[in-house]
Structure 1
Amino acid sequence: MSVLIVIPARFASTRYPGKPLVNLKGVNGQEKSLIQRSWEAAMAVSDAPRVVVATDDDRIRTAAESFGAEVVMTSEKCANGTERCAEAYDALGGGFDIVVNLQGDAPLTPSWFVEELVGGLRADPVAEVATPVLRCDGRALNALLGDRREGRVGGTTAVFGQDRKALYFSKEVIPYTGKVFADEDETPVFHHVGVYAYRPSALAAYPRWDAGPLEQLEGLEQLRFLERERPVLCVEVEGRGRQFWELNNPEDVPRIEAMLAEMAVE
């Protein structure tokens, strides 16, 4: 089954304008833009014959082409990454069995997250959409809770049923637990990894649906599928000792740079 990875990126982010072009230092002090680090994460995935950056901004296109990325220009009207992926897929003429949305603010996404996600969708012939979830250790959970205490919108959490179909996604920390966890403790909270795998039929349907109230309240694009009663398969992935975090706010830059240094990423 052929796989296309699309990295949607827009300059006019509400919370962090210009975010794709923010530089992040690696372990040796080398600076690379967020979009380049996200592209390098996508290029490390095995069995992905094509990786494209989808944007509506010439500044991002110029930056992406400078480090060798293929770029697809999309409309400014795309409301989120899923709509941008759908437009990019159409612009490329289709022909792929699975389309992966690796969002441009997730440079710490390990290759096996995407590989296991694609494998999970392939193994479930009924599922049309899948997304990874990572069980939080105490360190990750405490970081999420810290963001909420400080009034920052941090990572997203997910809850799902025994069939691994998503029940809900939220920018609040769910499920609630009043227990205090040490950094190394396993917790019952799952961090939603902002990557999606779609079958083309689901991707084609998505832009035709209006955003529902939950999507608008949470600002989470995947809730459009749940509000239309289209199941989202949650694929649990293993951190293998690596930390995962998205760049949501300017305060996340030093946190991600510390993680890059910890993982010896240049």
Structure 2
Amino acid sequence: MKTVILIPARYASTRYPGKPLAELTLADGSRKSLIQMSYEAAKQVSGVDAVYVATDDARIKAAAEAFGADVIMTSESCANGTERCANALERAGLSADIIVNLQGDAPLTPPWFVEALIEEVKRDSTVGMATPVLRCDAETYAHFTEDRRNGRVGGTTAVFNHNNDALYFSKEVVPFVDPGKLPDPIPVFHHVGVYAYRPAALAAYGSWEAGPLETLEGLEQLRFLENGHPIRCVEVDGRGRVFWELNNPEDVARIESVLRKQA
């Protein structure tokens, strides 16, 4: 099955303008942009036929081409990464059996997270869309609750049924856990912002209007749930790595700390 990875990237982020071009300091003291690190993470995924950066911004296009990425220019009207992937697929005339949306703010995404998604879509022909979830360890759970206490939007959490199909995604920490009775393992799952779609699911998304839950939460994947389209949650193993996305400027220090530990 032909598989392509698209990295949607926009300059006009509400919380962090210019985020794809933000530079992080690596363990050796060198610096790389967020979009380059995300592209390099995508290139580590096995079984992928091509990787593209999808953007509507000339600055991001120039930066991506400078480090060797193929770029697909998309419409400025794309409201989120899924819309941008659908638009890129249509504009470039790409033919693929599985399209992976690896968002450009997640340079810490290990390749096996994406590989697990691809394998699940291949394994179960009924799955039109899949996304990874990672059980929170104590450090990540602490980051979640700290962000909420300080009024920041941090990572996203997911709840799902016995078939691993999503019930809901939220920027709140769900389910609620009594802080005085935190169990082990922690029953909170961090949603990792990566998606694998079959072409029909991606095409359907573009035909739906954003619903009230998507609008309130600011989470693009809720459009699938609001239209009765299942999302398969694939639990992945961090293998000792801490995963965090770059949602706010404060997250730069967190990610740089993880990079130093990994080195």
Assess same fold via TM > 0.5: yes
Which is worse superposed, 54-63 or 84-93? 84-93
Cα distance in 1 for partners of 2:180, 2:156 equals 20
SS in 2 for 1:61: helix
Where does residue 157 of structure 2 map in the other structure?
157
Cα distance in 2 for partners of 1:41, 1:147 equals 26
Answer whether contact 1:137 1:185 (CA < 8 A) is retained.
Answer: no
Where does residue 85 of structure 1 map in the other structure?
85
Letter in 1 for 2:29: G
Cα distance in 2 for partners of 1:17, 1:256 equals 18
TM-superposed deviation, 1:179: 3.5
Where does residue 261 of structure 1 map in the other structure?
260
Where does residue 213 of structure 1 map in the other structure?
212
Letter in 1 for 2:43: M
Where does residue 145 of structure 2 map in the other structure?
145
Structure 2 residue runs without a partner (length 5+)? none
Where does residue 64 of structure 1 map in the other structure?
64
Where does residue 234 of structure 1 map in the other structure?
233
Cα distance in 2 for partners of 1:180, 1:131 equals 31
Where does residue 127 of structure 2 map in the other structure?
127
Where does residue 202 of structure 1 map in the other structure?
201
Letter in 1 for 2:63: A
Cα distance in 2 for partners of 1:172, 1:136 equals 14
Cα distance in 2 for partners of 1:252, 1:179 equals 24
TM-superposed deviation, 1:217: 0.1
Q: Deviations over 1:203-238 (max 9, x none)?
A: 011111000000000000000000000000000000
Cα distance in 2 for partners of 1:123, 1:161 equals 19
Cα distance in 2 for partners of 1:180, 1:247 equals 29
Answer whether contact 1:100 1:198 (CA < 8 A) is retained.
Answer: yes
SS in 2 for 1:188: coil
Alignment of 1:20 onto 2:20? yes
**TM-score, normalised to structure 1's length?**
0.97
SS in 2 for 1:174: coil
SS in 1 for 2:239: coil
Cα distance in 2 for partners of 1:11, 1:203 equals 23
Where does residue 186 of structure 1 map in the other structure?
185
TM-superposed deviation, 1:92: 2.4
Percent of aligned pairs with the same amino acid = 64
Answer whether contact 1:157 1:190 (CA < 8 A) is retained.
Answer: yes
Where does residue 10 of structure 2 map in the other structure?
10
TM-superposed deviation, 1:180: 4.9
Cα distance in 2 for partners of 1:126, 1:46 equals 23
Structure 1 residue runs without a partner (length 5+)? none
TM-superposed deviation, 1:123: 1.2
Indicate the RMSD between aligned Cα atoms, in angstroms: 1.2
Cα distance in 2 for partners of 1:250, 1:59 equals 20
Answer whether contact 1:138 1:181 (CA < 8 A) is retained.
Answer: no
**TM-score, normalised to structure 2's length?**
0.98
Cα distance in 1 for partners of 2:4, 2:208 equals 23
Cα distance in 2 for partners of 1:260, 1:153 equals 22
